[in-house]
Amino acid sequence: MAVPALRGSLSFAGQSLTIAAKDLRSELRTKEALNSSLAFALVILVLFSFAFEPTQEETRQISGGLLWLVFAFAGALILNRSFARELTNDCLDALVAAPISGAALFAGKAVANLALLLAVELVSLPVFGVFYNVPWTQQFWSLMLVLLLGTWGLTVVGTMFSALTVNLRLRELMLPMLLYPIMIPGLLAAVELTTPLVMGQPLEGSLIPWLRLLAAFDVIFTALALALVETVLVR
């Protein structure tokens, strides 16, 4: 891994984007996390169909729950790799020592994870539509907004906990275990928004409070993460 030469004059955004680009480049070279995450998502979608044999209408009514469970589980694989990939050759120490703030490092990784997880989701959605014979594009752009907000919440908290658990032996177990209960409000809001949107209901009326909750969740935890990540990363 080559730490790019960072001049002190790079802004926070510049630093974050450099880190994000580095992570994405590194991931796209091997596509390890991406492929395993995607495969996992597809397996869950298939398994669910075997397990429950839902009719088309039933599927539409649980679409939010099913999709976000898939995204949450598949996302854990990506999030785990986020800081874990820096452990070899002491790259993590080098990054922390580099002249960028911990917050910028975190933001960059979070953005990279967001991109990767969104990619997995955007492939999973059509597959879901095909497997379950569910038309899901009626409220496409609203759905994309919810996807973005929900995935951002998942990514921000997940990247934070990835940093928290990076040095643990049981990292792969501890990350999901800590992440999912904390994510419950965000996931709940995302689910409550996704199901009506997949069923064709527009994003208005009784759905707006959920949208506000999701946005508030994202804001609160992004702020907390940015404030605390430096503490977590510095030895």
User: Where along the sequence are the contacts to another protein (CB under 8 A)?
Assistant: 157, 160, 164-165, 167-170, 174, 177-178, 181-182, 184-185, 188-189, 192, 206, 209-210, 213, 216-217, 220-221, 224, 228, 231-232, 235
Nearer to another protein, 125 or 179 (CB): 179
Min separation Cβ 189 and another protein, Å: 6
Min separation Cβ 232 and another protein, Å: 6
CA 151 to chain CA centroid, Å, is 5
Nearer to another protein, 29 or 169 (CB): 169
Min separation Cβ 127 and another protein, Å: 28
SS (H, E, C) 59-111: HHHHHHHHHHHHHHHHHHHHHHHHHHCCCHHHHHHHHHHCCCCHHHHHHHHHH
Question: Which two tokens mark 195?
Answer: 């199901």
Min separation Cβ 2 and another protein, Å: 29
DSSP, residue by residue, 118-187: HHHHHHHHHHHHHHTT----TTHHHHHHHHHHHHHHHHHHHHHHHHHHTT-TTHHHHHHHHHHHHHHHHH
Nearer to another protein, 147 or 160 (CB): 160
Nearer to another protein, 119 or 213 (CB): 213
